[in-house]
Structure 1
Amino acid sequence: MTSPTPPAEPAYADRTFRSGAGLVSGVLLILLVGWVGGDAVFRGAGRVPWVALAALLTAIPLIVAFTLRPAVFAGEERIRIRNPFRTIVLPWADVATVRAAYSSELVTEGGVKYQLWAVPVSLRERKRVARKAARQAGDDPYGRTSATADVRDTQARVAAADRAVADLRELAEQAGHSAERSTVTASVRWAYEVIAPSAVGAVLLVVLLAIG
């Protein structure tokens, strides 16, 4: 008896794009809110512990949603965008472009725009990179390249968000040139695991404050 043929492995693993600053700030905020709220729960009197619990139930899912949750997963056939309250899956064939102006966003062939929360645009970083590039150009006004120059320095002259967007745009173009047609279907799913507890906590908080 022959064993079933295992499913074909993807050509490469998904590339993941996340905000390091968002992850760090999310962890710090959760620790801070947990410390303040926990102190109110264990040391508070009367209705204070219940109000603190409701506030924690409201705040922590929101912090997770806006700092730890956002990510972009780029695979061979599709891109998966995990935003604070939604997860969007799109085959590369549906992607018209990926761009970054004041925010990073993906535009579908139908003109629908999805913001990439995991790739925040920093105007300050762009200005810093532009000033560095201007100084380097001033050092060599004729644009000559030194024999000892590191070609990787060109990557350092681009802001992190612009590098990520360029990588995603390149992946989209490569997938568009592929002869194989993707079997992935577009879908949008709401993150009820984040929305539900936060909504329950907000309702409880309003009720407790109203009857207090």
Structure 2
Amino acid sequence: MKNNFWNENVEQWVQVIDSMGIDSRKITNPAIIQAISDNKLKSVLDVGCGEGWLARSLPEDIQYTGIDGSEGLIKKAQERSGHLFEAVSYDDLKSKNWRPNALVEGVVFNFSLLDEDISSTLKSVSEFLLPEGKIIIQTIHPCFKLPTYQDGWFIEDFKTMSVDFKDVMPWYGRTLSSWISEFEKSDLRLCQLIEPRGEGLPTSIIFILKSVK
């Protein structure tokens, strides 16, 4: 994913999030919060936290840290919440140049695993987990929401939004079997699969994972 896209569109993204400009988030936002609650996570690392909406939506007793590769979005998150936010790229995670101050019960990726190589990232964050800790990933449902049902790069131009974004955002989509393969490569075991839905087909998919190491 191009971090400069997010730095160039900080104000646009904040406007979209604040106005609930992505209709599916009426389903997916509560779904990720419910998954954190159901797994009784009391400390969370939010990877790809954006402008920090999740921090402001969780109960106050949850110890929260948010990281994102966009310094502009991290600055917005810091302005809007007293939680800990740091500018940390996925390359920082893969190269192990960053660690949280303490191990956590949960690592959350909410629509933020958009690169082709995700196993390196997942292996790195697995080291941040307390024993019995969980990784929670929410992404588009591969069976219903991929533009074409195959692994590959796609483009999001945000033209359905009421806000004008600069440039386009490339993202890597994968089939359900590809997701499962990536988890196996990352030494993760799938504990639960959730399919949030409103009316009709599922809007997203949530994977609950544990390290097998």
Greater per-residue strand proportion: 2
TM-score interval w.r.t. the shorter chain? under 0.3
TM-score (norm 2): 0.23
Give the greater-gyration-radius structure (CA): 1
Q: Which structure would you say has the larger RCO, counting Cα contacts within 8 Å and 6 or more residues apart? A: 1
Greater per-residue helix proportion: 1
